[in-house]
Amino acid sequence: MELIALLSTGKGTWAQVSGLMTYGEWDKIILIGSAFAKDFKHNKKFEFIKVDLDKKLKDLQEDLLQKLKGKIAGTEVALSIASGNGKEHMALISALINSPVGIRFAALTKEGVIDL
């Protein structure tokens, strides 16, 4: 299963994404963020998709839909929205649903990676 994670402003929220990448078993990792998030580093291979998170909701959703096209192999993805705000989350979830692909929310807890 692919992991798709949003990296928004506030590097403190990136620890959740980093933990998911480290402790999860992923076929592919796709990280989404602005130019600010290009500084994210990890020892696991990932694809970075740069978007303008300041766009209006509908424009951001359409941009994400276009940039995710052809990048998801399966019918379901693990999604982390630990980073970001409501507008960014809505745009990303809408883009994935319209791809169409199923979503399982993923989180890192003391017990390990869980699906919600």
- DSSP string over 16-83: HHHHHHHHS--SEEEEEE-GGGGG---SS--EEEE--TTS-HHHHHHHHHHHHTTT--SSEEEEE-SS
The torsion of the CA quartet 15, 16, 18, 22, rounded to 10 degrees, works out to 130
Do 60 and 52 meet the contact criterion of CB atoms below 8 Å apart? yes
What tokens does 54 get?
A: 């300041």
Q: Which residue has the higher pLDDT, 83 or 46?
A: 46
Asked if 72 and 99 count as a contact pair (C-beta separation under 8 A), the reply is yes
| Residue 10 pLDDT | 66
Domains, the chain, in order of start with CATH, read 2-115 (3.40.50.10770)
* Average pLDDT in the chain: 93
pLDDT for the residue 13: 81
Q: 13: number of CA atoms within 13 Å, CB side?
A: 14
pLDDT surpassing 70 at residue 11: no
Kindly indicate the confidence band of residue 90, based on its pLDDT and cuts at 50, 70 and 90: very high
DSSP code for 109: E
